[in-house]
Amino acid sequence: MEFQDVVRKRKMVRSFEDRPIPHESVERILANARRAPSAGFSQGWGFLVLEGKQEAARYWDALWPADRRADWGWPDLFNAPLLIVCLSNKTQYLRRYAEPDKGWTDMDARRWPVPYWDIDTGMAALLMLLTAVDAGLGAVFFGVFDQAKLRATFAIPDEYTAVGVIAVGYPKPTDRPSPSLKRGHRAAAEVVRRGNWH
Amino acid sequence: MEFQDVVRKRKMVRSFEDRPIPHESVERILANARRAPSAGFSQGWGFLVLEGKQEAARYWDALWPADRRADWGWPDLFNAPLLIVCLSNKTQYLRRYAEPDKGWTDMDARRWPVPYWDIDTGMAALLMLLTAVDAGLGAVFFGVFDQAKLRATFAIPDEYTAVGVIAVGYPKPTDRPSPSLKRGHRAAAEVVRRGNWH
């Protein structure tokens, strides 16, 4: 698909058909995640793949208790045949920047103006969301609030933090957009400034 | 350009020709930034546009002192006819999530497992990097270490933090890749895990 069409068509999809997606799409999504840029080429990230509705059910059972699922407005989210947990690893960035070419041997996180471990992992997540659209699929990105439960459920080391989870599948035509979109875009003049902020 | 070609061709470009880029490319890059996803559609971001080498010089003069520029291995970086400072606004996220549909009226940042203000702004930055490739241009993303100086130079309110700056232009054929790339990709088996981490 044309790049600009992918950007235009990308939206968060929360209702999926109850059927698998091609395994080659899963692999292309993951390959593109690994093409994301990262500070110092640290690549301090990890992608935990839960392929198939049965595997994904382990995530829902552990992280979305039954009462939360019952209250959730998009029950067909749980049909998603693919979940990818996007994890950032701050320690790998601190280690990378302690190497001679960077020289931050104190590994002091206060040197970092913003957390590139989370930002770079977010860029990888966006590449996956876009690749899903290019593959004729839909996807959504959502946060993980119980990081300890996530680590315990999937034996993830403490140095990884989930930046979010991507669910992928064939979109259901009955999917509804997030009510948040009714807010509309912030005005261009508020967001885009020229020369100076004011 | 085909989406997958854009992803494949994207790389950080640090040497630019000394000539302007079409204004319509600038506008498409900015329009795509505003299409990035954001938690609760908060859009807590800002993009400060410095168009033309003269405008960009204000950035270099303030943020890259002459001695740093002299030591920098890619002198044609300073030819870039477009800089976009990508700013995140945490307060706008806290305010958005204090609204009735979210209900975090205490505006306590500890509710957030990861800083989506920085992550979402990073996603917008990646969309701009990809759009530059689609427009036949090259681009690089780099960090801002003196946030106070940045704010003072461009009259940016304190609630904004620069996640990074994108420089865009026509790539010089003589551009050299970052030495960090010699590290190579982390092994797929290290980064991509299936079912469980171990």
Q: What is the pLDDT of residue B61?
A: 97
- Using CA coordinates, name the residue in chain A closest to B83: A195
**Domains of chain B, with CATH numbers?**
3-191 (3.40.109.10)
Strands B82-89 and B45-51, bridge-based pairing: antiparallel
Structure tokens at A61: 């059972």
Distance from CA of B162 to the nearest CA of A (A): 8
End-to-end CA, chain A: 39
CA nearest neighbour of A169 among A131, A118, A132:
A132
pLDDT band (50, 70, 90) for residue A113: very high
pLDDT band (50, 70, 90) for residue A9: very high
* CA pair distance A135, A25, nearest whole angstrom: 7
Which residue matches tokens 């913003």?
A114
Structure tokens at A153: 């459920």
**Which residues numbered 139-198 in B keep a CB inside 8 Å of some CB on A?**
141, 143-145, 147, 154-157, 160-164, 178-181, 183, 185-186, 188, 190-198
CA nearest neighbour of B79 among B178, B179, B171:
B171
Q: B12-38, pLDDT tens digit by residue?
A: 999 999 999 999 999 999 999 999 999
CB A143, CB B115: distance < 8 Å: no
- What is the DSSP secondary structure assignment for residue A136, as one 8-state letter? T
- pTM for the full predicted model: 0.98
CB A182, CB B42: distance < 8 Å: no
Q: What is the pLDDT of residue A151?
A: 98
CB-based burial label for A88 (10 Å; 0-12, 13-18, 19+)? buried
Q: For chain B, how many residues are written?
A: 198
Interface membership of B46 toward A (CB under 8 Å): yes
CB A114, CB B161: distance < 8 Å: yes
Contact A34 B191 (CB under 8 A): yes
Classified as helix, coil or strand, B113 is coil
Q: B48-88, pLDDT tens digit by residue?
A: 999 999 999 999 999 999 999 999 999 999 999 999 999 99
Q: What is the pLDDT of residue A174?
A: 95
Q: What is the pLDDT of residue B66?
A: 92
* CA pair distance A63, A181, nearest whole angstrom: 25
* CA pair distance B101, B97, nearest whole angstrom: 8
Q: What is the pLDDT of residue A165?
A: 98
The full 3-state SS of A162-174, as one line of letters, equals EEEEEEEECECCC
Cα A103 to its chain centre, rounded Å, is: 31
Q: What is the mean pLDDT of residues B168-182?
A: 97
Q: A21-33, pLDDT tens digit by residue?
A: 999 999 999 999 9
CA distances from A38 to A8, A96, B75, B105, B117 (A): 25, 11, 22, 35, 18
Interface membership of B89 toward A (CB under 8 Å): no
**Chain A interface, best mutation among B93, B102, B192, B194, by max A CB count within 10 A:** B192
Helices (H), A34-167: 53-63, 66-71, 90-96, 116-134, 147-154
Q: What angle do helix axes A116-134 and A23-33 make, rounded to 10 degrees? A: 150
Mean pLDDT, chain B, as a whole number? 97
H/E element, B51: strand B45-51
Contact B46 A193 (CB under 8 A): yes
Distance from CA of B117 to the nearest CA of A (A): 10
ipTM above 0.95, yes or no: yes
Residue of A8, A141, A183 lying closest to B37 (CB–CB): A141
CB atoms within 10 A of CB B139: 27
